[in-house]
């Protein structure tokens, strides 16, 4: 059996696992519920069992393991410091140490958005561009920055938290404690909330018709569908989201002059409906140098970004061990 790498994407509701070759070819994948209420010990046991099953299917143990987690990690020890969306918030859970007792291979643990950025670097747009910033728009807004072919981590692994730039001073409260962060105004829930407001106030009749007036069917995707079908209210939501994202992206372009802004996560599925106004918005705001050459593109990894990123982390961890 040829060498393979294990990528684990720990999420609040599910754990994704993948076995892949060095060039990113998927050999096996599996997803299980996190059952986070059972606590860190049981969740880590479940992750270990997942890796065992992948090993059985691949006929050998992995060369290394990468684990993406939704929060802050101590890079040196591989312990989680703060996973806000999991019960007990996983303060000082020694993830690497626990898994090392079971698997005698190098193990990397990293924030999930930085992990997805590593995946984009290894298997996506990073194959053709050297400097890019990634915005991951989903339930939250995360990100990562690659400069000259290297993921910028900073001392805490937190460099690239692009979703927590202030976009509206004094704006809506963000989960991080600040007000007016990009996450507070352009995440999936923020977009959905605005859709519900317009639907209930009669300002999005096309959206109302599309979801039969059922507010729990309003989502970034149904809002995008209504906008495409000509609903002016839905279109205004997307234009506003694009403007917020353009402000954040223009700030990054001014600071780094990257070759590309990569947009990932569920909200990115809107595609050109969102990306075209973001391109315009960046050009309007970056005036100190021509920014026409800065591309704005959807991630090339799609639904697999989490586990593919974790595979990239596993490979990088082996190479640096």
Binding residues for Zn ion, per CB under 5 A? 164, 174, 176, 178, 181
Shortest distance, position 47 Cβ to Zn ion, whole Å: 28
Provide DSSP, 115-141.
HHHHHHHHHSGGGT-SSEEEEEESSSE
Cβ proximity to Zn ion, 59 vs 177, nearer residue: 177
Shortest distance, position 174 Cβ to Zn ion, whole Å: 3
Q: How many other CB atoms are there within 10 angstroms of residue 2's CB atom?
A: 11
Q: At what angle do helices 220-228 and 188-200 cross, to 10 degrees?
A: 60
Are 278 and 267 contacting, i.e. CB atoms less than 8 angstroms apart?
Answer: no
Radius of gyration of the chain (CA): 20
Cβ proximity to Zn ion, 145 vs 174, nearer residue: 174
Cα–Cα–Cα angle for 318, 319, 321, rounded to 5 degrees: 65
175 SS3 class: coil
- Distance, in Å, from the CA atom of 308 to the CA atom of 321, rounded to the nearest integer, reads 20
- Distance, in Å, from the CA atom of 113 to the CA atom of 58, rounded to the nearest integer, reads 27
Shortest distance, position 143 Cβ to Zn ion, whole Å: 12
Who contacts 90 (Cβ-Cβ below 8 Å, separation ≥6)?
40, 69, 71, 80, 82, 83
Shortest distance, position 72 Cβ to Zn ion, whole Å: 13
Cβ proximity to Zn ion, 69 vs 174, nearer residue: 174
Cβ proximity to Zn ion, 85 vs 178, nearer residue: 178
Shortest distance, position 161 Cβ to Zn ion, whole Å: 8
Cβ proximity to Zn ion, 79 vs 83, nearer residue: 83
Determine which helix (DSSP H) or strand (DSSP E) holds 107, and give its type and residue range.
strand 107-111
Cβ proximity to Zn ion, 12 vs 302, nearer residue: 12
Cβ proximity to Zn ion, 186 vs 261, nearer residue: 186
Cβ proximity to Zn ion, 163 vs 195, nearer residue: 163
DSSP single-letter state for residue 174 = P
Determine which helix (DSSP H) or strand (DSSP E) holds 30, and give its type and residue range.
strand 26-33
Cβ proximity to Zn ion, 174 vs 246, nearer residue: 174
23 SS3 class: coil
Shortest distance, position 245 Cβ to Zn ion, whole Å: 15
Shortest distance, position 164 Cβ to Zn ion, whole Å: 4
Shortest distance, position 183 Cβ to Zn ion, whole Å: 5
Who contacts 115 (Cβ-Cβ below 8 Å, separation ≥6)?
9, 66, 68, 306, 309, 310, 312, 313
Shortest distance, position 178 Cβ to Zn ion, whole Å: 5
């Amino acid at each position: 059996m040829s060498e393979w790498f294990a990528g684990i994407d720990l999420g609040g509701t599910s754990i994704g696992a993948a076995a892949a070759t060095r060039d990113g070819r998927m050999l096996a994948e599996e997803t299980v519920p996190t059952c986070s209420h059972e606590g860190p010990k049981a969740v880590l046991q479940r992750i270990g069992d997942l890796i065992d099953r992948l090993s059985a299917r691949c006929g050998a143990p992995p060369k290394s393991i990468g684990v993406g987690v939704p929060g802050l990690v101590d890079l040196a020890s591989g312990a989680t410091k703060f996973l806000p969306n999991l019960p007990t918030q996983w303060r000082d859970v020694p993830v690497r140490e626990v898994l090392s007792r079971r698997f005698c291979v190098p193990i990397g643990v990293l924030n999930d958005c930085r992990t997805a950025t590593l995946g984009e670097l290894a298997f996506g747009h990073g194959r053709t561009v050297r400097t890019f910033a990634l915005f991951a728009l989903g339930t939250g807004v995360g990100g990562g920055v690659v400069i000259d072919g290297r993921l910028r981590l900073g001392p805490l692994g937190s460099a690239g938290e692009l979703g927590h730039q202030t976009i509206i001073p004094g704006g809506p409260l963000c989960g991080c404690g600040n007000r007016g962060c990009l996450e507070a105004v352009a995440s999936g829930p923020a977009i959905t909330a605005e859709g519900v407001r317009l639907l209930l106030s009669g300002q999005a009749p096309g959206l109302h018709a599309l979801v039969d007036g059922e507010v729990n069917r309003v989502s970034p995707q149904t809002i995008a569908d209504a906008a495409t079908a000509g609903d002016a209210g839905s279109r205004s939501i997307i234009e506003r989201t694009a403007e917020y994202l353009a402000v954040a992206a223009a700030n990054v372009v001014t600071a780094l002059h990257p070759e590309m802004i990569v947009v990932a996560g569920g909200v990115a599925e809107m595609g050109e409906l969102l990306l075209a106004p973001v391109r315009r918005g960046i050009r309007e705001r970056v005036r100190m140098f021509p920014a026409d050459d800065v591309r704005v593109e959807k991630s090339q990894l799609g639904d697999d970004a989490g586990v593919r990123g974790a595979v990239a982390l596993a490979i990088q961890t082996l190479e640096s061990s």
